[in-house]
Structure 1
Amino acid sequence: MFKLPTLDQVIGEFDTVLRTLAAPAASIRPHPDRELAEAEMNDAEKTHAAGLMRVNHCGEVCAQALYQGQALIARDPAARDALKQAAAEEVEHLAWTRQRLDELGSHRSLLNPLWYAGSFAMGVTAGVVGDKWNLGFLAETERQVTAHLESHLELLPEQDAKSRAIVTQMAIDETSHAEQAIALGAAPLPAPVKQLMTLTSKVMTHLSYRI
């Protein structure tokens, strides 16, 4: 049986919301593209690369909210720690993608607050139904995110080595998160839940690429 969060926890979670949506994220690890030169791209290529990186930044905002909601409700300390570790690495992804958007002269998605709220609600729901499903949701989320990132490696301009380096490292991290969740006892999600997650992801991707 889960416990309702304390006032201190609520204040801490609200601080996380503000830092994710408004404050610049920090990265403990060096940025994956730090030693790579900026590529020559025409306006169309740069706009396309920026759209893809905006989608990736939006995905990391969603991941923060999702893991925040899941960790808030998780009963098992090991599951909670796994979620918090994943969230910490997602903060680095936020930093990498935000800087890359700045370098490309573009903006973050204006819909980030909406995606954050929806993802947080999904995370809380996953946490309420039990830790094995909570971890299962984490594993499936990371599986879908990894596939999404790998597709971006096919879509990014070939010469954009900086964006490619970031996306490649992100995909490695997401795979690691999924494997950790499975090792901790993640339950496979029912097919309808997976399909709903895929549909939601497509809507987010379509809108955040443009807005």
Structure 2
Amino acid sequence: MDQLIVEFDKALRTLFAPARSVRPVPGGDMPDTLLSDGQREHVAGLMRVNHCGEICAQALYQGQAIMSRDASVRRELEQASNEETEHLAWTEQRIAELGGRKSLLNPLWYGGSLALGMLAGRLGDRWNLGFLAETERQVEAHLGGHLDQLPAEDQKSREIIGQMKVDEARHADTAIGLGAHELPGPVKTAMKLMARVMTTTAYRL
């Protein structure tokens, strides 16, 4: 029961409490660039997608850690989750600076990702790590796409996404180093399709 309360508290904090970052926000000391209304709306939409992705990451790692049988794997999941919390704080702050809002469907994304993380953890730690590695690879590629879409003059957003991209790559490398299994091709494809649904919806809602 105590563990259930702890996990429920994590969910509430992720969804409704302001996230905090130990590291300074990348680009936080840069002056904000004047963007057109259209640019500002577009960047806020991209940041909303990234914030939503970090909500999903928190739930995925939580579900995977709950089901993991290996203490070292749980520690790595918790460390990755801590850095994802920082990403959550960075994107949340940038959304506010741009006058945007967070996704209205965050509780839905959280619930689905938690269930998916628990399923991955149930399959065993090597598959659990494989799911982590593939998730981070896909997120890294997704962030690279956002860097291509950002206005060239929006250095604040570029700094945030650039550091997130570095962190995600490191998480994937750590999982592989711990013995992650390579996921089958159809599973990778299904993950990409699910991510596309989330990103397309979160951009608008």
Give the TM-score of the pair, scaled to structure 1. 0.96
Task: Tell me by how many angstroms 1:11 deviates.
Answer: 0.6
2: distance between equivalents of 1:173 and 1:34?
Answer: 18
User: Among residues 173, 178, 191, which one is paired with 1:179 in the alignment?
Assistant: 173
| Identical pairs, percent | 60
Query: Normalization by structure 2: what TM-score?
Result: 0.99
User: Does the alignment pair 1:32 with 2:26?
Assistant: yes
3-state secondary structure, aligned to 1:203: helix
- The correspondence of residues 111-190 of structure 1 with structure 2, limited to 5 A, is 111-190=105-184
How many Å separate the matches in 1 of 2:130 and 2:3? 24
Query: Which deviations, in whole Å up to 9, do the C-alpha atoms of 1:5-28 show, x marking residues without a partner?
Result: xx1111111000000000000000
1:193 has 2:195 as partner: no
How far 1:34 moved relative to its partner?
1.2
Per the TM alignment, residue 59 of structure 1 is displaced from its structure 2 partner at its CA by 0.2
Unmatched 5+ stretches in structure 1: 1-6
Q: Return the offset for 1:203.
A: 0.2
Q: Give runs of aligned pairs for residues 17-56 of structure 1, distance below 5 A.
A: 17-56=11-50
Amino acid at match of 1:53: M
Cα distance in 2 for partners of 1:133, 1:109 equals 30
> Helix, strand or coil: the match of 1:51?
helix
The one-letter code of the counterpart of 1:36 is M
Task: Quote the Cα distance in structure 1 between the aligned partners of 2:85 and 2:76.
Answer: 14
User: Following the alignment from structure 1 to structure 2, what is the Cα–Cα distance between the partners of residues 189 and 128?
Assistant: 15
Cα distance between partner residues in 1 of 2:31 and 2:195: 32
Match of 2:99 among 105, 113, 118: 105
Structure-1 separation of matches of 2:4 and 2:136: 26
- Residue 52 (structure 2) aligned to one of 58, 70, 75: 58
| Amino acid in the other structure paired with 1:91 | T
Q: In the alignment, which residue of structure 1 is the partner of 2:82?
A: 88
Q: Cα deviation per residue 1:41-92 (whole Å; 9 max; x = unaligned)?
A: 0000000000000000000000000000000010011111110000000000
- List 4+ stretches of structure 1 deviating above 6 A: none
Mapped partners of 1:188, 1:125: distance in 2: 17
How far 1:35 moved relative to its partner?
1.4
- Give 3-state SS (helix, strand or coil) of 1:75's partner: coil
Secondary structure at the counterpart of residue 26 of structure 1: coil
- Measured after TM superposition, the shift of residue 157 of structure 1 is 1.1
Residues 1:78 and 2:80 aligned together: no
For 1:189 and 1:12, the matched residues in 2 are separated by 31
CA deviation after TM superposition for structure 1 residue 32, in Å: 0.4
Give the Cα separation in 2 of the matches to 1:96 and 1:33. 10
Aligned-pair CA distance for 1:96: 0.2
SS in 2 for 1:207: helix
